[in-house]
Structure 1
Amino acid sequence: MRRVIEAVVPARMGVPFRWMLASSWTSNIGDGIALAAGPLLVASQTDSAFLVALAAMLQRLPWLLFGLWAGALADRLDRRRVVVVANLLRAAVVTLLVAVIATGHVSIELVLLAMLLMGTAEVFADTTSQTLLPMLVPTNDLGTGNARLQAGFLTANQLVGPPVGAALFALGTAWPFAVQVVTALLAVLLIARMTLPAVPPPAEPTRVRQDIVDGLRWTWTNPPVRTLALVMLSFNITWAAPWGVLVLYSLDHLHMGPVGYGLLTTSAAVGGLVGTVLYGRLERRFALSTLMKVCLSLEVLFHLVLALTETGWVAMVVLFVFGAYGFVWGTVANTVRHRAVPTRYQGRVGSLYMMSLFGGIVVGNALGGVIAQHWGLTAPFWFGFVGAALTLALVWRQLAHVAHAQAD
């Protein structure tokens, strides 16, 4: 057992990292449960496609509304305390939701309000959480730390949580959300045990708006960090355009049926698990710039092959490869950012990256729907292929500087 623990969380990374990792994995179980139970709850209250879509949007909208503010506060306040308070507030909202469900007073309006409030708390919790790793582990261990965090997200949030959430919902509408409250409180207890090094206060008192402007200015004037943010925005647009119509692509173009669509998404998740196993070896053997170039090149090919294929098993292989390189890319991108951004800017720059992520997804989904409506289900994949290829060609030479940038 000790050997397993040492392999997963090496002692050299410190006890605080173990507390943070345990908290992250626990929280991801609850979030994964809600990932399935949330849409089921919305669907149980309305058959309106607009309201179902609105519920999903309300959980992402706070990133665009409060992301910059969350980043500034993460850089101003005690980061551990911010994470604890934000997660307690999220637990409180879910507790109230459980209460109204149990008493039979639930309505679509209350569910939508709960989605918005939970999404808002998530912005502050997640923005601040991502600043903790660079404070806890040495620079050389950032890749390992990010890989462990990503593995927890993939396993707990994407694989284990959703089927558990669906099963609990079948037992009783309130059960999955009650379990989510328990996991959130346990995650708070774990993170509260962690100790953080002190962050030096600014030389002069500042205002939040000034901090936001300073963060934007620092990001824009730092070429590697700016380039990585723009790459993330662009590639999320080109990825989300076809991904938003993947279900129709699998049903009407590949004729795989509902089970086949499930196999596509499962293939991606299994590929991600393979990526978790291989990442350590890849990082030791190859430069981060090489990994970035390979992952982005595979992303270009991902769109091209899916645009051309009419065979379900080929699509499953492509989704498997996508899951593997997607995990590697996400880990490398986080590691590069953590290395390149000084501690005092981690919150603000991290929030910009999250806004690039979700902003790109929103724009890409909208474009994908319009493109598919006018030019067919493979058209979004051609859009993704051309857009990703052009972006990669523009940044190819800069990736070496991006991958090995260091904080001042």
Structure 2
Amino acid sequence: MGNIVEGLVPARLGTGFRWLLASSWTSNLGDGIAVAAGPLLVASLTGNAFLVSLAALLRWAPPLVFGLYAGVLSDRHDRRRIVMAADGFRAVVLAALVALMLTDHLTVAFALAALGLLTTAEVFADNAAATLTPMLVHRDDLVIANARITAGFLTVNQLVGPPIGAALFAAGLAWPFVAEAVLVSAGVLLVSRLVLPKQETPATETPAGAWHAVVEGLRWTVRHPAVRTLSLTILIFNVTFGAAWSVLVLYASQRLGLGAVGFGLLSTVSAVGGLLGTGMYGWLTRRVSLGNVMRAGLIVETLTHLALALTRSPWVASAIFFVFGAHAFIWGTTSITVRQRAVPTQLQGRVGSVNTISVFGGLVVGSMIGGALATRVSVTAPFWFAFAGSAVFVALLWRELTRIAHADAETPPAPATD
């Protein structure tokens, strides 16, 4: 058993990181359960398509609205306590939700409000949690540490959690939310065991308002060439990704001839591909530079859109999703590591929140483009748009990718406050 633990989480990463990893995996299992149970709950309370769609809206709106402020809090206050407070609040909301279910007083309005509050609290918890790894782990071990955290997200949040959530919901409306409350509470207890080094908070930040602090984080990102380029890459590639993936359910049915079960299996195949990426990530990064890993990843994503635009075969599409799943894990872990190495500790929260805005902002813009193209042209038009846009951007960015991967070599100090 000790050998298994050592292989999974080497002792050199430290006891603190093991507590953090256990908390991350536990909380992510609860979040994965909610991915399936939340929409099912709303759909069980109303047949109104608009109200059902709000459940999806409430999953991506909070990061856009609160992401930057969450970064300010992470940089100004005890990050461990922020995670504990945010997840503790989620446990309270879940308890109230379960109580209303058991007493037959739950309305669709409260269910939607609860889902919005849960996602909002998760924004603050996730932003603060993402800053803890570089505080606990030596920079040379950030690759493996982030790989383990991302592997847990992929496995329990995307692969294991949703089917458990659906099965628990079938057994009784309240069960998945009881399970999520227990798991989130356990995550709070685990992260409470962390002992962090003293968090540096520059004196120049203390009197400044929240907006001033946000601007400071944005200014640092813009002035750092590598991190700026990384944020721009994430924004652009989420526009193209969002355009294609926003109509994926229509693509699966109209282009591939798949039903609801087949559509669900595409996500499962992608998650299994991510597990392959998990297994080979350490081997890959020991042999290939991070710059070339990122170059290869962007090529894979570009060709994914082209291949899906061309194929009509569910089997070929499944193979494409498998490869894409491996790419998504490898790219995501690499980009997190590059950013953590480059950004000063006192700015990790705010620069990380800029990354969050880039992710969700790109997805929102892309989904609007994809919907318009699919409506006016064809269901494959968003994939052709994604391929063309990605190809152009890869060509423009090609030389910059090596610089991104070595961002830590050119880290400037945090800018002085005006």
Q: Same fold (TM over 0.5)?
A: yes
Matches of 2:200 and 2:385, distance apart in 1: 46
Matches of 1:31 and 1:201, distance apart in 2: 31
Matches of 1:39 and 1:296, distance apart in 2: 32
Matches of 1:176 and 1:256, distance apart in 2: 28
Partner of 1:329: 331
| Structure-1-length-normalised TM-score | 0.98
Give deviations 1:94-142, integer Å, cap 9, x for gaps.
Answer: 1111111111011110011111111111111111110000111011110
Partner of 1:21: 21
Alignment of 1:268-287 (within 5 A): 268-287=270-289
Matches of 2:128 and 2:218, distance apart in 1: 17
Alignment of 1:6-405 (within 5 A): 6-204=6-204, 205-207=206-208, 208-405=210-407
Conserved 8 A contact 2:75-2:201: no
Partner AA of 1:14 in structure 2? G
Displacement after TM superposition at 1:348 (Å)? 0.0
Give deviations 1:54-95, integer Å, cap 9, x for gaps.
Answer: 121123211111111110110000110111001111111111
Give deviations 1:203-253, integer Å, cap 9, x for gaps.
Answer: 332322221111111111111001100100110110111111111111111
Displacement after TM superposition at 1:263 (Å)? 2.6
SS of residue matched to 2:194:
coil
Displacement after TM superposition at 1:393 (Å)? 1.2
Matches of 2:247 and 2:234, distance apart in 1: 20
Give deviations 1:25-63, integer Å, cap 9, x for gaps.
Answer: 000110011111001001001112211111211232111
Consecutive unaligned residues in structure 2, runs of 5 or more = 413-418
Matches of 1:177 and 1:250, distance apart in 2: 30
Matches of 1:259 and 1:212, distance apart in 2: 44
Between 361-370 and 371-380, the greater mean CA deviation after superposition: 361-370
Between 354-363 and 343-352, the greater mean CA deviation after superposition: 354-363
SS of residue matched to 1:72:
helix
Partner AA of 1:303 in structure 2? H
Moved over 4 A (4+): none
Partner AA of 1:324 in structure 2? A
Conserved 8 A contact 1:70-1:123: yes
Distance 1:262 1:55, change over 3 A: closer
Matches of 1:100 and 1:305, distance apart in 2: 48
Matches of 1:59 and 1:323, distance apart in 2: 21
Aligned residues: 408
SS of residue matched to 1:256:
coil
Partner AA of 1:273 in structure 2? L
Displacement after TM superposition at 1:394 (Å)? 1.3
Conserved 8 A contact 1:59-1:118: no
Displacement after TM superposition at 1:257 (Å)? 2.8
Distance 1:135 1:310, change over 3 A: same
Partner AA of 1:34 in structure 2? A
Matches of 1:253 and 1:81, distance apart in 2: 48
SS of residue matched to 1:331:
helix
Matches of 1:201 and 1:388, distance apart in 2: 39
Displacement after TM superposition at 1:258 (Å)? 2.9
Conserved 8 A contact 2:200-2:345: no
Matches of 2:92 and 2:368, distance apart in 1: 33
CA RMSD of aligned residues (A): 1.0
Matches of 2:214 and 2:332, distance apart in 1: 25
Instruction: Report percent identity of matched pairs.
Output: 55
Displacement after TM superposition at 1:262 (Å)? 2.5
Matches of 1:54 and 1:231, distance apart in 2: 29
Conserved 8 A contact 1:272-1:320: yes
Give deviations 1:258-313, integer Å, cap 9, x for gaps.
Answer: 33322322211110110100001001110000000000001110000111111111
| Structure-2-length-normalised TM-score | 0.96
Consecutive unaligned residues in structure 1, runs of 5 or more = none
